[in-house]
Amino acid sequence: MRAADVPYEKITAKTFPKGPDSLASGHRACQGCGEVLALRLLLKSLGTDFIAVSATGCMEVCTSTFPQSSWRVPWLHVAFENAAAVASGVEQACQVLRKKGKLPDKRIPVVAVAGDGGTADIGLQALSGALERYHQDFIYVCLDNEAYMNTGIQRSSATPFGASTTTSPAGSHSKGQHTWKKNMPAIAAAHGIPYVATASPAFHLDLMNKIRRAAAIEGPAYLHVYAPCPTGWRMKPELAVESSRLVVNSRIFPLYEVLDGHYVLNRKVDNPIPITDYLKQQGRFRHLKPEDIEIIQARVNQEYENIVKLSEAFPV
């Protein structure tokens, strides 16, 4: 069956899942953390019948200080760069134990969760291997807060151009990060997997439905989730959800899906807000001058246009 035709139970405002979260409250995330918000919504969408694997990072550290754990589902953390490989092992174990009758004959999604450093930098090889091996019940979620926040706001290959971090500081000879953000969804899609999607926690139903769709489709899925970090972005904690909205409405972070190589632009942004509305909330961009912002705007226009063209050239 085509990935686009695989049925799944869609969540609406009326059917929003009730009951306790799979990620319990009382965790140690920072005030206003957009990453833990996205994670909680994703897990809530899946219910309780799945296994989670975390990479080392903010979400692992803030949920699992021994002897406490926020996880109400089976959860495994091994190291930083290998969430995809660990999840591969869990997934294959479940498959074979099911085949041998040692587990109930039911699909168990295995969800690997990692940050942008654990995905785009140090974990890229393990992720590529797992996607290529085409695990049936494998979902990889990259919660992208655009730097190594857990270690103290160092740049990653997913840090956006112009952002000042502790290892790409703005200075008299630097505009901060001088490279463009690595396009992880495109890299994931290049593996020919059935499902790739981007999501942002401000569009929570879209986000939650995407992981449901990922779980319903047989084959590996990659979700790239925008995860605002007020601490690392030097932004007011109450702005996490608003920045998650502005990043989409400014066309910086388009919401789209790639189903068997066919593109769906989930949210067409016809009248984009100026990117300055998004950038000015965040201290990491404070040093940028109008000419820098012009360069970023041109890049945003081009990347958004690319997704529009792909959705027209390869429609579902």
Partner 1 sequence: MAVKPIGIEVSLAVAEAVKLCDTDVVAAYPITPQTHIVEHLSELVADGELNAAYIPVESEHSAMSSCIGSSAAGARTFTATSSQGLALMNEMIYIAPVLRTPIVLAVANRALSAPINIWNDHSDIMSVRDAGWIAVFAENGQEALDLTIMSFRIGEHPAVRLPVSLNIDGFTLSHFIEPIIIPEKEKVTAFLPPNVTDLKLDIAKPISIGLLANPETYTEIRKATDDILLASKDTIVEVFAEFKKAFGREYNLVETYRTEDAEIILLTMGSISETAMTAVDEMREAGEKVGVVRIRLWRPFPVAELKAALAKAKTVAVIDRHMVMGVPNGPVGLEVKSLLYGAPNAPKVFNYVLGLGGRDVKRSDFKTIVARSKSNDVQKSFEIVGVYE
Q: Considering the rule CB under 8 A, would residue 151 count as an interface residue with partner 1?
A: no
Q: How far is the CB of 93 from partner 1 (least distance, A)?
A: 4
CA 144/CA 220 separation, integer angstroms? 19
Lay out the site mask for partner 1 across 3-22 (x = CB under 8 A, - = otherwise): --------------------
User: For residue 131, is it left (φ>0), alpha (ψ between -120 and 50) or beta?
Assistant: alpha
Q: How far is the CB of 67 from partner 1 (least distance, A)?
A: 7
Contact 152, 234 (CB under 8 A): no
Q: Considering the rule CB under 8 A, would residue 26 count as an interface residue with partner 1?
A: no
Q: Considering the rule CB under 8 A, would residue 89 count as an interface residue with partner 1?
A: yes
Q: Pick the binder of partner 1 from 4, 6, 8, 95 (CB under 8 A).
A: 95
Q: Considering the rule CB under 8 A, would residue 126 count as an interface residue with partner 1?
A: yes
Q: Is the CB of 68 or the CB of 166 nearer to partner 1?
A: 68
CA 213/CA 215 separation, integer angstroms? 5
* Residue whose tokens read 């945003």: 300
Q: Considering the rule CB under 8 A, would residue 158 count as an interface residue with partner 1?
A: no
Q: Considering the rule CB under 8 A, would residue 132 count as an interface residue with partner 1?
A: yes
Q: Pick the binder of partner 1 from 23, 35, 44, 60 (CB under 8 A).
A: 60
CA 82/CA 198 separation, integer angstroms? 22
Q: Pick the binder of partner 1 from 15, 31, 125, 179 (CB under 8 A).
A: 125
Write out the two tokens for 281: 């909330």
CA 134/CA 157 separation, integer angstroms? 25
How many CA atoms, within 13 angstroms, populate the side-chain half-sphere of residue 106?
A: 5
User: For residue 162, is it left (φ>0), alpha (ψ between -120 and 50) or beta?
Assistant: left
Q: Considering the rule CB under 8 A, would residue 74 count as an interface residue with partner 1?
A: yes
Residue ranges in contact with partner 1 by CB under 8 A: 48-51, 53-54, 60-61, 64-67, 69, 71-79, 81-82, 84-97, 99-100, 102, 108, 125-126, 128-129, 132-133
